[in-house]
């Protein structure tokens, strides 16, 4: 049975219209006009228990609005949504105990106090007994490598340590469903890796369902086998991350290492040159032309080494967003 189900989910916002000048200001004050903006347009998908799904889209695509609908922070204008068997916008206490929302650019910890004090507040809110609270904090702190940091004021923690403490605070009530909006935003590479490892272990240990948005594709490729993508409020892909490459990338990437540098026009005879610097070059070749073009390059160019691989997933996803249309049959996992 699906933990998260969204059917034809819609969210419209009224936006006031104002013409310039004094007349426009007076009209805006006394007789205001509005237009309707659809942030989410008929989005449908579902998540099974224990799934970790990447939720992707460019800025303004409707990702955060959808997360707010799923967590009950805003009311849908149309459609149906159920999370853990509840209608989120009713904000029932039993529902709130089963979900959490972590936003990478927001914080709930009290800035001038140790993180432990914020954990005690959260423990009181969720009515967690003191002994159980200490056990949970100890377990999560060990997973996050925070044991020595919990008694320091939050303002003295590094950005990575604060994000880990935010995750700990958000997971004290052991939610079944995690909504994560850019949890590694602004973190350095080591901190990003640490957060990913923690989320993978938390999912394995507790069987939590995770819906993750991130602009760092390393987060998605490390944690998610499935992705849901929206563009301009509409669903444009729902399926496996590996299937995304096959469906939207009719090209293969060829990386060349040469014995001597070649001018770019000479390389362009074989395919689309994405990068050419010194003795290295990167080309995109259509799959149907790949074998012949590679054989020709090996015959005609001073090739020292050649590698054929899938194009970077970031480039594939950029291509999907540029198309901005649902491809027939792409919604593999409704």
Q: Which two tokens stand for residue 233?
A: 């409020």
pLDDT, one tens digit for every residue, the chain (334 residues): 899 999 999 999 988 888 888 888 888 788 888 888 899 999 999 999 999 999 988 888 899 999 999 999 999 999 999 999 999 999 999 999 999 999 877 788 999 999 999 999 999 999 999 999 999 999 999 999 898 899 999 999 998 899 999 999 999 999 999 999 988 888 888 888 999 999 999 999 999 999 999 888 889 889 999 999 998 899 988 999 878 776 666 778 899 999 999 999 999 999 889 889 999 999 988 888 899 999 999 999 999 999 998 777 777 777 677 665 554 444 444 4
Predicted local confidence at residue 328, as pLDDT: 40
Q: Do residue 190 and residue 256 come from a single domain?
A: no
Same domain, 254 and 241: no
What's the domain count of the chain? 2
Q: Dihedral sign, CA of 299, 302, 305, 311? A: negative
Domain that holds residue 276: 250-309
Mark which of 245, 262, 281 sits at the end of a domain: 245
Using one digit for the tens of pLDDT, what is the confidence trace for 6-29? 999 999 998 888 888 888 888 878
If asked whether residues 231 and 255 sit together in one domain, one would say: no
Residue 103 belongs to some domain of the structure: yes
Q: Give residue 334's pLDDT.
A: 41
Q: Residue 275 maps to which CATH number?
A: 3.30.70
Same domain flag for 69 and 112: yes
* Assigned token pair, 293: 């073009």
Angle between helices 115-125 and 130-144 (to 10 degrees): 130
**195 assigned to some structural domain:** yes
d(CA 67, CA 72): 9
State how far the Cα of 311 lies from the Cα of 283, in Å rounded to an integer: 10
Q: Do 76 and 201 fall within a single domain? A: yes
- On whether residue 334 sits in a domain, the answer given is no
261 shares its domain with 129 = no
State the pLDDT at residue 327.
47
Sign of CA dihedral 128, 134, 139, 143: positive
Domain match, 229 and 275 both: no
pLDDT of residue 313: 73
Q: Quote the pLDDT of residue 324.
A: 56
Domain assignment present for 112:
yes
Predicted pLDDT of residue 7: 96
- Both 165 and 48 in one domain: the answer is yes
Residue 21, domain member (yes or no): no
Backbone angles phi, psi at 298, to 5 degrees: -65, -30
- Domain at 148, CATH number: 3.40.50.300
DSSP H helical ranges for the chain: 21-30, 63-71, 93-96, 115-125, 130-144, 159-170, 189-206, 217-223, 241-248, 264-267, 290-300, 313-323
The SS3 call for residue 165 is: helix
Residues 189 and 81 in one domain: yes
Q: Please give the model's pTM, rounded to 2 decimal places.
A: 0.80
Domain annotation covers residue 229 = yes
Ramachandran sector of residue 113 (left: φ over 0; alpha: ψ -120 to 50; beta: rest): beta
Q: DSSP secondary structure string, 134-149?
A: HHHHHHHHHHHT-TTT
Q: Is residue 328 part of a domain?
A: no
Count the Cβ atoms, other than its own, within 10 Å of residue 55: 26
Compute CA 309 distance to the chain's CA centroid, rounded to the nearest angstrom.
Answer: 24
Same domain, 59 and 161: yes
Same domain, yes or no, for 281 and 220?
Answer: no
Are 6 and 79 a contacting pair, CB within 8 Å?
yes
Query: Does 158 share its domain with 202?
Result: yes
Residue 322 lies in a domain: no
């Amino acid at each position: 049975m699906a933990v998260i189900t969204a059917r034809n989910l819609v969210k419209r916002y009224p936006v006031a219209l104002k013409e310039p000048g004094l007349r426009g200001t007076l009209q805006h004050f006394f007789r205001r006009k509005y237009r309707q903006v659809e942030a989410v347009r008929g989005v449908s998908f579902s998540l099974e228990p224990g799934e970790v799904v990447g939720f992707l889209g460019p800025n303004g695509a409707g990702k955060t609005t959808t997360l707010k609908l799923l967590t009950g922070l805003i009311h849908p204008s149309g459609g149906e949504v159920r999370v853990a068997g509840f209608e989120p916008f009713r904000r029932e206490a039993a529902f709130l105990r089963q979900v959490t929302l972590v936003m990478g650019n927001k914080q709930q910890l009290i800035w001038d106090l140790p993180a432990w004090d914020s954990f005690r507040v959260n423990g009181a809110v969720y009515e967690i007994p003191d002994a159980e609270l200490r056990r949970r904090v100890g377990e999560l702190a060990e997973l996050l490598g925070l044991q020595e940091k919990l008694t320091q004021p939050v303002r003295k923690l590094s950005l990575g340590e604060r994000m880990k403490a935010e995750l700990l605070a958000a997971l004290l009530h052991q939610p079944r469903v995690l909504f994560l909006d850019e949890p590694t935003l602004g973190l350095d590479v080591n901190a990003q890796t640490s957060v990913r490892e923690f989320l993978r272990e938390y999912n394995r240990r507790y069987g939590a369902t995770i819906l993750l948005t991130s602009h760092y594709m390393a987060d998605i490729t490390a944690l998610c086998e499935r992705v849901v993508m929206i563009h301009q409020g509409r669903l444009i892909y729902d399926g496996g991350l590996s299937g995304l490459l096959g469906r939207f990338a009719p090209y293969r990437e060829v990386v060349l290492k040469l014995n001597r540098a070649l001018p770019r026009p000479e390389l362009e005879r074989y395919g689309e040159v994405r990068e050419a610097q010194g003795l290295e070059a990167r080309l995109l070749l259509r799959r149907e032309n790949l074998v012949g073009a590679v054989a020709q390059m090996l015959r005609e160019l001073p090739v020292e080494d050649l590698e054929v691989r899938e194009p970077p997933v970031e480039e594939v996803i950029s291509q999907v967003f540029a198309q901005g249309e649902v491809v027939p049959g792409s919604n593999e996992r409704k």
